Amino acid sequence: MYNILSGLVLNGSRSLGSLGFTHASLASKYGVEFVRASLVAVDTLARELSLSNGAKLPYDRLVLAPGNEFEDACGLTQADYDTRTPHAWRAGPQTQLLRDQLVAMPSNGTFVITIPKSPYRCPPGPYERACLVADFVKTHKGAGARVVVLDENPSIQAEAATLSKALNQIHAGVISYVPGANAIQIDANTKVVSYRDGIGSSRTLTAQVVNPIPPQRASGSSGSSGSSASSASSANGWRTQAGLANGTSGRWAAVNVLSFESTATGGAGIHVIGDAAHCGLPKAGHVANQEAKTCADAIVRLLGGQQSDPAPVATSACYSIITASTASWMTAVHQYDIASRGMKVSNNGGNTVGAKPVKSTAITSKNFKRMNICFSALMDDTFS
**Min dist. Cβ of residue 288 to ligand FAD (A):** 4
* Backbone φ/ψ region at 211: left (φ over 0), alpha (ψ -120 to 50), beta: beta
Stretch that binds ligand FAD, among 18-26, 98-106, 118-126, 255-263 (CB under 6 A): 118-126
User: Rounded to 5, what percent of the chain is helix, strand, coil?
Assistant: 30, 25, 45
Site string for ligand FAD, 183-222 (x = CB under 6 A): ------------------------------------xx--
Considering the complex, state which of residue 4 and residue 163 has its C-beta at the smaller distance from ligand FAD. Answer: 4
Name the nearest CA neighbour of 87 among 198, 192, 211, 204: 211
Q: Indicate the SS3 state at residue 83.
A: helix
Residue 148: name the closest of 120, 176, 174 by CA.
176
Q: How far is the CB of 306 from ligand FAD (least distance, A)?
A: 27
Residue 69 parent element (H or E) = strand 68-70
Query: Which range in 78-86, 134-142, 146-154, 229-237 contacts ligand FAD by CB under 6 A?
Result: 229-237
Sketch the per residue contact string, 298 through 337, with ligand FAD: x for CB under 6 A, - otherwise.
--------------------x-------------------
Q: Is 7 among the residues that bind ligand FAD (CB under 6 A)?
A: yes
Binding residues for ligand FAD, total number by CB under 6 A: 28
Measured from the CB atom, is 68 or 78 closer to ligand FAD?
Answer: 68
Site string for ligand FAD, 52-71 (x = CB under 6 A): -------------xxxx---
Regarding 283 and contact with ligand FAD (CB under 6 A), the answer is: yes
The CB-nearest residue to ligand FAD is 274
Q: Nearest CA to 236 among 44, 52, 1?
A: 52
By CB under 6 A, name the one of 3, 222, 259, 328 that touches ligand FAD.
3
The residue within the footprint of ligand FAD, chosen from 4, 49, 188, 210 (CB under 6 A), is: 4
Backbone angles phi, psi at 320, to 5 degrees: -115, 130
Query: CA 98 to CA 113: how far, in whole Å?
Result: 11
Least distance in Å: CB of 4 to ligand FAD?
A: 4
- Contact between 150 and 114 (Cβ < 8 Å): yes
Contacts of 327 (CB under 8 A, 6+ apart): 319, 320, 321, 363, 364, 367, 368, 370, 371
CB of 286 to ligand FAD, least distance (A): 4
81 binds ligand FAD (CB under 6 A): no
Of 18, 96, 208, 233, the one binding ligand FAD (CB under 6 A) is 233
**Hey, is 281 helix, strand or coil?**
coil
Residue 78 found at the interface with ligand FAD (CB under 6 A): no
DSSP H stretches of helix in the chain:
7-10, 24-30, 78-83, 93-104, 125-140, 160-165, 238-241, 285-303, 365-383
Q: Which residue, 311 or 377, has its beta carbon nearer to ligand FAD?
A: 377
Q: Which residues contact 197 (CB under 8 A, 6 or more apart)?
A: 178, 180, 181, 203
Binding residues (CB under 6 A) for ligand FAD: these are 3-4, 6-7, 38-39, 65-68, 89, 121-122, 125, 219-220, 231, 233-234, 274-276, 283-286, 288, 318
